[in-house]
Amino acid sequence: MTFTDLSHFFSSWPRNRGQFQVRELQADDGRLIIQVRIDLGAIQMESEGRPDGQRPGGHGTLLECALAQKQQGGADFCLDEGECRAIRDEAVQFYHRYVAYFNLNRFEAVMRDADHALSCLNLCRDHASSDQDRHRLEHLRPQIFTMKVRAAAELAMANRQPRAAMSAIDQGLVELESMLGSEAAPRSNEVQLLRGMREMLVPKLPSSQRVELEERMQAALDAENYELAAILRDELKMMKD
C-alpha cells in the first residue's frame, strides 16, 4: 500500500480560524463531493446516499436497509444495542453534511438530510429494544427539526416568496413548541432562533397581507389552535401600517 503526503493539499487550502470552510467539487469520476476544512485536516463526504459512501446490505443508507428488514420482520422487528448505535452514527453523518450544505446555501439538500436524521431518530425511538437506545439522541430532535425549518424558510426567501417563508416558520414554531412542551419551549434556543427569523421577515411582507394574516388568525382561533393564533397576532403587531 502506498501512502500520500497531504501537505500540498492542506497548504493549497489553508485553515482560516473562526470560519466554516466548505466547498463542493467534482471527483475524478465526475461525482460531486463535499469537503470541510478542519483544524487538523479535512472531511470529505459524498453528496448522495451515506456521506461516507458505504452501502449497507446493498442499500443506499443503513436507514433504508433497516426499513427493508422492518418490512420483512413485521411486528417482531426490533433493534438491538449495536444496530441502534450504527443508526445513530448514520444520523450524525447526515447532521455533519446538512450543516455543510446549509453553509453552501443548498437548502433543499439540508431539508433532505435533516429528514433522514429525524427518520433515524424515529426508527430508534419506535423499535429499540431498550429505553436507553430509544431516547439517546432525542435531545437532538429540536435542533435537527429547527434546521429543517430554517432551510425551508431560506429556500422560500431565495425564491422571493416571503409568504411561504413566514408560513414555514409559523408551522415550524407550532410543531416545535408542541415537541418541547409548554414549560420548556419559552426557554428553548431553537424557539428563540425561529422567532428571531420571523421578526426579521415580518417587515418584508407587503402591507396588503395584513388582511390575510387576520383571516388566518381568526381561522386558527375558530379551530382552537391558540398557539398558531398567538404567533399570527404577534406578526400583525410587527407589521408596518
Average pLDDT over all residues of the chain: 89
Q: What is the largest CA-CA distance in the chain?
A: 71
Q: What is the pLDDT of residues 94-146, one digit of tens each?
A: 999 999 999 999 999 999 999 999 999 999 999 999 999 999 989 999 999 99
Domain boundaries in the chain? 160-241
**Cell for 223?**
379551530
pLDDT at position 183 is: 87
DSSP lists the bridge partners of residue 176 as none
Residue 160's pLDDT band, with cuts at 50, 70 and 90, is: confident
Q: pTM to 2 decimals?
A: 0.82
Specify burial of residue 200 (Cβ count, 10 A radius: 0-12, 13-18, 19+).
exposed
Residue 211's pLDDT band, with cuts at 50, 70 and 90, is: low
Specify burial of residue 209 (Cβ count, 10 A radius: 0-12, 13-18, 19+).
middle
169, 197 Cβ separation under 8 angstroms: yes
Q: What is the pLDDT of residues 34-90, one digit of tens each?
A: 999 999 999 999 999 999 999 999 999 999 999 999 988 777 899 999 999 999 999
Residue 152's pLDDT band, with cuts at 50, 70 and 90, is: very high
In this predicted structure, the answer to whether residue 7 has a pLDDT above a threshold of 80 is: yes
In three-state form (DSSP H/G/I as H, E/B as E, the rest C), the secondary structure along the chain is: CCCCCCHHHHHHCCCCCCCCEEEEEECCCCCEEEEEEECCEEEEEECCCCCCCCCHHHCCCHHHHHHHHHHHHHHHCCECHHHHHHHHHHHHHHHHHHHHHHHCCCHHHHHHHHHHHHHHHHHHHHHECCHHHHHCCHHHHHHHHHHHHHHHHHHHHHCCCHHHHHHHHHHHHHHHHHHHCCCCHHHCHHHHHHHHHHHHHHHHCCHHHHHHHHHHHHHHHHCCCHHHHHHHHHHHHHCCC
In this predicted structure, the answer to whether residue 161 has a pLDDT above a threshold of 90 is: no
